[in-house]
Amino acid sequence: MAGFYRYTAVLDACVLYPAPLRDLLLSLAAAGVFRGRWTHRIQDEWIRNLLANRPDLQPDALRRTAAMMNDVIEDGLIEKFEYLIDSLTLPDPDDRHVLAAAIVGRADAIVTFNRRDFPQTHVGVFGIDILHPDDFLVAQYERDPLRVLASVKANRARLRNPPKRAAELILTYETQGLPQIAKILSNAVDLI
């Protein structure tokens, strides 16, 4: 529809790595709370790191998860961004692909635990915010609390192995470094 705008965020590999956070972010994106985006390279990075730390996981299962991300989240995959990488400067050159994707993908933000890797002096010129996932989730809640709560509830209902009570899911978020959104969800525990 003409004139429609949805906040767009590139999800860095470090926020896609932990399954509970990945599931939460993708649930919110699928519900239309925000427009979630990534690249094949970002997907390869979280899968590679997860397999290095969890050799018990099946590579094919993680690749299926990545493929489902691309199928379920409309326009989530950013392509044809590579031409920008060499022209960008960041403290860690290996992070330039994320910034290039955010520029090409017209992102409002990059959601990452590694905010220091994207200093404002380097990314500010592009008008892209660098947000910790906890700050990002709080902002999404403030924009659309009912849809966020409904998404968390639906996400929790999909958990089967093992199923989790609302308080257990909230504790999972808190232990993953998301204390602000955990506190907000605790105040609405009966709704999730």
Q: How would you write 51-100 as a 3-class SS string?
A: HHHCCCCCHHHHHHHHHHHHHHCCCCECCCCHHHHHHCCCCCHHHHHHHH
* Regions of the chain short of the pLDDT cut 70: 1-5
pLDDT attached to residue 160: 84
Contacting residues for 177 by C-beta, under 8 A, at least 6 apart = 113, 133, 134
Domain boundaries, the chain: 8-191
Res 1: pLDDT: 43
Pairing label, strands 35-37, 109-111: unpaired
75 class by beta-carbon count within 10 Å (0-12 exposed, 13-18 middle, 19+ buried): exposed
* pLDDT tens column, 143-180: 999 999 999 999 999 988 888 999 999 999 999 999 99
Task: Enter the CATH code of domain 8-191.
Answer: 3.40.50
pLDDT for 180 equals 98
What integer pLDDT is reported at residue 3 of this predicted model?
46
Token pair for 185: 């969800």
Number of H helices, E strands in the chain: 10, 4
pLDDT at 51: 93
In 3D space, the residue among 103, 140, 134, 138 whose CA is nearest the CA of residue 118 turns out to be 103
What pLDDT is stored for residue 5 in this prediction?
64
Structure tokens, 172: 């999972």
